[in-house]
A and B are shown apart, each in its own frame.
Chain A
């Protein structure tokens, strides 16, 4: 009898994700249950190829959230992420009401990335955009319109090549740019000066230099000192801005170009996605692979987003699926088919707080769990790196171990349901096998008697 049942994913904790696609649609995906599947609850926007979304950024303060959506036709939409109401539309080509002369002539250029800054003390927000032709634009907005007498400025990152990625660090003072033919460089946003630039890697054994081809970048930890970069030559590099201009660690990952790099919240781990759908996590202290994530990913991964509090991350791309993985167990928690090639996805970080009123107990436990899970993850990583200090059996380590066990328990807590089900199934299987054996024995006995 062939197997007709399918293995269903375990389900994910309460989440709210926004996904952005090539047709310019924004989909709101939610799971309100403790352990359930994602569902599309709203769709914003009308399908149009011109308004195809290339990048999005959710800026969340304690009390407010603003979403900036960069479209291919140089329009940046500022939205309210909870209702989808459009606050304003910003043309990235105009600076202080005038068309930017650099961008006018170049018709092939498109918008590449957008970053929405946290609100300043005056309540104004800045938006940083970047075009493929190599212009960075900074606009100041006050919620409804572009602030007139303020500063809106544009400066060139490069005059050759195509910019492919932009990343702003956590302190929101520095931005890293890189692209096709452009090695990664770090810019001070306030002064618009380049403070650091990567040096091309040494020539290879044939004496050839590879073209710089930066496709994705991310900052490790909270500061701007450590920069991880993925290249089109399927190489991952770690730069230390303080130390030198050449990478501290560089290693190859499979054979297709790296399309997405995202740092974990613990400051050591990075998630890497490639052009043919391989997804893995690496420890950037040692450059070792921690494991790959499997879930029948059939298309290029365009974006990876790490949840700030829960131990999950989401990946989406050209295979039109949004998948949520558990960071540590590397299990596919849930996946959803979103019909269009996806470009970006963003976690709504305020969502669990809203759910707190609805379902107190579930939420609290999950939050606790998530906090602990980080500790656990760190411990686990330390183990994997194999530092000699830890091997000494001191009291401290014992203590650590005991806490680790506790944490493990907590870690298992949220997925206890699935495990229970698993155990039940196993028990049933065993029972079935036993009964089968018994029947077989009976048969034999009866045969021998005859």
Chain B
């Protein structure tokens, strides 16, 4: 009874207000219990909102156009509020003018790499009994990272591998772990004295699966590190940078990107090219004499084109350990703990 009354009530109101603008008093469609009517109402609401948005955008564009025509400054564009730009205040954000930061950078574990005293030599291995997917992942890594060598894991313990690699002057070890035949963890151990970063690895896409993927050359890649802002992030960025040789071969036009967004580090590998493109000229309609002139005046536009080479994957830091790998007696510089996740707007990298 009550249900029907309520429905009739809303419908009746609807009919009354059909001609009017959308009123704010109208109850949400979620209160309607009949699914058919509810979905109809939803569809109506959605189209209304869409139209309104269209109108608003049109108005805004018109104002902007007018301002440009009049030679005035266009009204400032509004910036949407996102989780990143409303991030909680973080005192650990590294500032480039901080003398202590520079002092630490000059003496930390990666300073030898950044002073070009050592060239990176990587040892890549898997967990014991790894799956074929992990082997494929490692094969992709070997294509991306120069000076990387795959070693079969065998039955060696990580501490033994660390000792072995240290004696052979490797600068880092990467160990890929898997679960359910998918790679799901990455351990990066900087040598000779750490630190050790443990990442969760997800969203791995092989190059083959990327549409229109390119084949990378063997040139040394350029490196882009985005948004490593805090002290932990800075240290992590330096660690990731120390995996790649310092002097990129710009002829190769290869770029490797580590992009941090909300503590997730996205790995991408691209090839880029600058192409000259002539602007569409209207010379076809005019005669030959004017064609010459137009050729002279036609502008050559440079465009950059990007081709992804792959692979893609995402990393999330689980822990950063002081020194080389030691799960039993080791000290941590940073560990992710449950009580850190009390706010969506708090980030650590």
Interface of A toward B, CB cutoff 8 Å: 2-4, 6, 23, 25, 47-49, 213, 232, 256-257, 259, 275-277, 294, 296, 298-300, 318-320, 337, 339-341
Q: How far is the CA of A341 from the CA of B331 in the complex (A)?
A: 12
Which residues in A have their C-beta under 8 angstroms from that of B332?
256, 275-277, 298-300, 318
A340: which B residues are within 8 A, CB to CB? 100, 104
Q: Residue A6 contacts which of B89, B98, B100, B334 (CB distance < 8 angstroms)? A: B89
Interface residues of B in 87-127 (CB under 8 A from A): 88-89, 91-92, 98, 100-101, 103-104, 107
A residues near B231, Cβ cutoff 8 Å = 320, 339
- Which single member of B88, B107, B330, B334 contacts A319 (CB below 8 Å)? B334
12 sample A-B contacts, Cβ–Cβ < 8 Å, listed by A number: A2-B345, A6-B88, A6-B89, A23-B104, A48-B107, A49-B107, A275-B330, A277-B335, A298-B340, A300-B332, A319-B334, A339-B104
Judge whether B86 is part of the interface by a CB distance below 8 angstroms: yes
In-complex Cβ contact of B331 among A3, A4, A318 (8 A) = A318
- Please tell me which one of the listed residues B86, B92, B348 contacts residue A320 in the complex, with CB atoms under 8 A apart: B92
- What is the bound-complex CA distance between A283 and B101, given in angstroms? 41
Chain B residues with CB below 8 A from A320, complex form: 92, 231
Please name the residue on chain B nearest to A297 by beta carbon. B337
A2 to B82, CA, bound (A): 11
Given A6-B88, A320-B92, A340-B100, also A299-B333 (CB < 8 A)? yes
Q: Which chain A positions have C-beta within 8 A of B91?
A: 337
Known: A48-B107, A256-B330, A298-B337. 9 other contacts (CB 8 A): A2-B86, A23-B107, A257-B331, A276-B332, A294-B339, A300-B333, A318-B331, A337-B92, A339-B104
Residue of A with least CB distance to B332: A276
What 4 pairs between A and B have smallest CB-CB spacing? A47-B103, A300-B331, A49-B107, A275-B331
* Residue B259 CB within 8 A of the other chain: no
Q: Is A339 touching B335 in the complex (CB atoms < 8 A)? A: no
Q: CB distance B107 to A298 under 8 Å?
A: no
Q: With A25-B100, A47-B100 given, is the CB distance from A6 to B335 under 8 Å?
A: no
On chain B, the residues within 8 Å of A23 by CB distance are 100, 103-104, 107
Closest to A52 in B: B107
Residues of B within 8 A of A294 (CB): 339
Let me know if B322 is at the binding interface, CB within 8 A: yes
Chain B residues with Cβ below 8 Å from A25 are: 100
CB distance from B305 to the nearest CB of A (A): 39
Q: Give A119 to B50 CA distance when docked, in angstroms.
A: 82
